[in-house]
Structure formats: structure tokens, C-alpha cells
Chains A and B, each alone.
Chain A
Amino acid sequence: MAAMKESYEKQGQALMNMSRKNAEIEAEKAEYLAIFARHNLDMLAIKKPGLIENRFRNASDAVMEGLEDDTEALYNLSNPDAND
């Protein structure tokens, strides 16, 4: 009985952690998308294409690197020595 209780508690805790992380991930996405809502990209691209070009390039680099880091963190779960 105690073992079952411990198992349920473990699952509950893991589920809570997952829900919290998922909420943070949703918030992170919303934060990125809010950038588009805050700026008139068409106008900025017409007036300052050089500035917007740099932003686009940097943002693309950041997204790609973020995806690489996230999938690497997952991969390292099953291969903890991968970075050694």
C-alpha cells in the first residue's frame, strides 16, 4: 500500500512538473509572437531594411540554436556521456 502511495505521489509530482514546464513553454512562445504584435514590421522593413535584416537573421539563428539545444538536452537523457 505504501509503495502504491509512493508511486502515485511520484506520478503526481511528475505530472505537476510537466504541466508547469508546458505552461512555461506556452508563455515563451507567446512572448516571441508578441514581438510581431508590438511592431509594424512592414513599415520598419521599408524604412530600415538593414536593421530588420539583422534582426531576422539573429532571430533565425537563435531559433535554430534553441531547437538544437533542446533536442540535445533530450538526447543527453539517454546518453549522459554524450558531451564527455
Chain B
Amino acid sequence: MILRHFITLAILTLTISGCSLLPTKKVEIVSKPIQIDIMQPDLPRPVQLTAPQWYVVSEAVITNPCKKTISFDPKKFDENGVEQLKRPKACAKEDTENPDWPDGYTYLDRFLDEMKEQNNGEVVFVATTIGDYKVMAEDMQELKRYIKQLGEVVIYYRDVTMPSGEKGVGVAIEKKGE
């Protein structure tokens, strides 16, 4: 009976500690960066804008030039063979480019006439000052700057997250005088 217990105990001991008797395998830990493919989102559709029609008016008189009726000496012709004419320095009102304009017709008069024509004879319009136009133009440039710079940030993130070799393309910078 004692022997049986002894054998059982010996088997149990060997079973529990058996793995420690086997040779160990060395585990090697290596740090290696892995390429993560980041899905690039669709960028928002481009803006579609319509430029407003500006009117600049003052009480300056609009020039109403004479119609071109005088030949050059010698005669001049354009590339299509049509004779080029010059304007006389003075002429009758009916010989001007806009004979229906009254004398001293100003930019303000023309603007008011145009507004009446657009609004069934009523004078109605939204006005701004030169100073406010400047403010608006400066604000527009500031918004443009922000949109463009934000675009560059988008390009930066695309460049650094796209697989090697692929590259984003920047927006064009307009340089005057080139």
C-alpha cells in the first residue's frame, strides 16, 4: 500500500515538473516597423463660384467719343484689309458713339439708368464703399490663403502616409511677372 502511494507520488511529481526537464528554446524578440496601409479618403468636390458684377460709380462724366470717320494719311488697313479710321476731335452729337446720352452724362447717371432697366423702373441696389470693398477683398485673400495652406497640410499627410514612391501634388502658386 505504501509502495503504491510512493509510486503514485513519484509519477505525479514527474508529471508536474516534467517540462522543466526538457531543453528550453530561446525566444528572440525583434522590433520591426510594419507598413500600415492607410486608406486615403475622397477629398471634397471643388468649389464652384460665380464672381459678382461690380459697379464703380462717381459723378465723373463719361467720355462720349466721336465715331471714327477720318482716314489716315496714308491710309491704314488691318490684317483683313479693312481700312482703319480715326476719330475727329470734335463732332455733332449725332456723330458720337452714344448719341442718346445727354450732355454731361455721368457714371452715376448710367448706373441709375441701368438699375431702373433691371428693376422695372425702380432704383434699387446694394451698395458698398471703397473701404468696405477693400475689407472684403482682404478677407477673400485671407480665406484663399487658409484654403491653400490647409490643402498643403492634406498633401503633407498624404505624402507621409502613402506607400513609397507615391506622392501628392500641390496646388499651383501664382507668381506674377513670370
Contact = CB atoms under 8 A, between A and B. Distances in A.
Interface residues of A, number: 52
Interface in A48-78: 48-50, 52-53, 56-57, 59-61, 63-64, 66-78
B162 to A, nearest CB: 10
Interface residues of B, number: 56
Interface string A1-33: 001101100110011011001101110110111
Could you tell me the dominant secondary structure of chain B's interface residues? loop
Interface of A: 3-4, 6-7, 10-11, 14-15, 17-18, 21-22, 24-26, 28-29, 31-33, 36, 41-42, 45-50, 52-53, 56-57, 59-61, 63-64, 66-79
A67 B33 contact: no
Interface of B: 32-33, 40-58, 60, 62, 107, 130, 133-134, 137-138, 140-142, 144-145, 147-149, 151-156, 158-160, 164, 168-176
